[in-house]
Amino acid sequence: MLIDLHRHLEGTLRVATTVELAQRYGHPLATAADPESLLVAHGPLGGLVPYLDKVDAAPSAFRTAEDWHRAGREAVLDAAADGLGYLELRFSPWFIRQETGLAPEAVIDAVADGVAAASRETEMPVALIGILLRDLGPGQGDAQVSTLLSRRDTFCAVDLAGNEAGVPAAEFAPAFRRARDAGLHVTVHAGEAAGPESVRAAIEHLGAERIGHGVRSVEDPALLELLAARGITCEVALTSNLHTSVAASYATHPIKRLLAAGVPVALATDDPRTSGITLSGEYAAARAEAGLSAHDIQRIAAYAAKAAFTRGSQPSGLPLGGAVS
């Protein structure tokens, strides 16, 4: 069964839906000569920030709570159509507020309702992860956590995302302590745009149980030992890493080095619309392009099942607390 533990709602927004809403609201994308080129990466972009620009180009076209209900529903329908059996979907209510002016609580409720409707329709369990946006600064960390905790039962985990080269993770430690105290799991974006020191900081200061990307951990053998010893799973997105120029090719991607060091790896999509991919396609690329063996693929699938925040090692069971169904 396919399991995706790292998928951003903002990076799943369908091109067709985005353009439709842009035309409805008079959004600048409606008059773009080639809106798809602004929304989808078609090769290496030279860094994380240009990639995030494509992710961020779509959300401002979703102006109402009803639009975000639709976004949540379509994200789940697309995942189910690709054959997924379980999905953890993450988003930043405060980023969406920044782009649309909507109250973050209204965004959470709309997305959760849309996700729940599609989860019932497809019979695919889905859990939600709330993102704290690094770019808003640590001064807003507590307020962002307060928003998530106002809807505590909606979320299974909290994440820190945005430009890794920006504010140090340690400055968000108080906010993440509140999240952990409330019983939320922790995953943190690290080891993508920033080096292995960002992964270590995510573990030491934020209590990360999983690492979003984490591929630059291979630059520090001691860190690889730590990840393996603690069973901290790296959520690896092959094609996204090519688009952000973290890896030069599938063949030279660090995924095999992570596996060889005993680090748990879960294959993920990151932003399927932005990268123009599916999870089944990423598994195919892992075999055909990255050179992973059938045994490697089996290990990755097992790691993903074990690392799932709301379902533990039994992903075929019913969703537990924090899941939406």
User: How far is it, in rounded angstroms, from Cα 29 to Cα 256?
Assistant: 39
Whole-number Cα distances in Å, 72 to 7, 185, 247, 279, 325: 12, 21, 30, 18, 13
192 is catalytic: yes
H/E element, 187: strand 185-190
With a CB cutoff of 8 Å and minimum separation 6, the contacts of 250 are 238, 242, 285, 286, 289, 290, 291
Residue of 74, 99, 164, 192 marked active site: 192
The H-or-E segment that residue 84 falls in is strand 84-91
What are the structure tokens assigned to 300, written together? Answer: 């990755």
8-state DSSP, 317: S
Alpha carbon 195 to its chain's center: 19
Pairwise CA distance, residues 259 & 253, whole Å: 12
Angle 141-149/173-181 helices, nearest 10 degrees?
Answer: 20
* Size of the chain in residues: 325
Six-digit token pair at 140? 């807003």
For residue 261, report the phi and psi dihedrals to the nearest 5 degrees.
-85, 0
Which residues form the catalytic set? Answer: 192
